[in-house]
């Protein structure tokens, strides 16, 4: 490899170095979590109910004391689709069935618990929910454009 590198002209070596630095910089930026976000996500992961839930509630970012948490639920996405992916046993049940209703309450309960855990932090004065479009798409749920 060293022989091949030495055959490159100086300009190509500089270009390759700049390109490598840019790729490494983008990788670091994509993987970096601010300390507060990392701490809040550790708190969520430490809670047995939140950690055991099939959807990984997490803090995406903190903006001026408001924690932005991910959620699979929104008025943009039918609850039946989300619950069907989280709990395959209810995928084909009608929304008014007792089991479906139970799973819907469970989702709401764990989401509420995740919010309460984050709000225990003295630096956090509020929570805002953000639709986890990536998770939905990874689970085969089409998400219409929107906020």
In this predicted model, what pLDDT tens digit does every residue of 36-87 receive, in sequence order? 999 999 999 999 999 999 999 999 999 999 999 999 998 888 899 999 999 9
pTM, 2 dp: 0.76
Name the pLDDT band for 25 (thresholds 50, 70, 90).
low
b/e code 54-91 from CB counts within 10 Å (16+ = b):
ebebbbbebeeeebbbbbbbbeebebbbbbbbbbeebe
The confidence score (pLDDT) of residue 9 equals 81
Place of tokens 């809670």: 47
Is 47 within a domain? yes
> If you average pLDDT over every residue of the chain, what do you get?
87
Residues 39 and 88 in one domain: yes
Does residue 30 or residue 130 have the better pLDDT? 130
Domain that holds residue 102: 34-138
Count how many domains the chain has. Answer: 2
Q: Are residues 84 and 50 in the same domain?
A: yes
Residue indicated by tokens 């009608």: 94
Asked whether residue 98 falls in the same domain as residue 111, the answer is: yes
CB 130, CB 68: distance < 8 Å: yes
99 within some domain: yes
The token duo for 4 is: 């091949």
Assess whether 98 and 62 both reside in one domain: yes
pLDDT bin (cut points 50, 70, 90) of residue 96 is very high
Regarding whether 126 and 55 lie in a shared domain, the answer is yes
Is 143 part of any domain?
Answer: no
8 A C-beta contact, residue 20 and residue 77: no
């Amino acid at each position: 490899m060293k022989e091949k590198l030495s055959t490159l002209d100086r300009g190509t070596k500089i270009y390759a170095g700049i390109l490598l630095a840019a790729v490494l910089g983008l990788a670091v930026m994509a993987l970096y979590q601010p300390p507060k976000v990392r701490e809040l996500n550790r708190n969520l992961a430490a809670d047995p109910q939140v950690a055991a839930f099939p959807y990984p509630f997490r803090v995406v970012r903190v903006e001026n004391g408001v924690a932005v948490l991910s959620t699979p639920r929104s008025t943009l996405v039918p609850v039946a689709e989300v619950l069907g992916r989280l709990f395959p046993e209810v995928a084909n049940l009608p929304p008014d069935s007792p089991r479906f209703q139970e799973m819907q309450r469970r989702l709401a309960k764990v989401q509420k618990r995740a919010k309460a855990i984050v709000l225990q932090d003295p630096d956090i004065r509020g929570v805002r929910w953000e639709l986890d479009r990536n998770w939905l798409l990874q689970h085969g749920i089409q998400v219409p454009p929107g906020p």
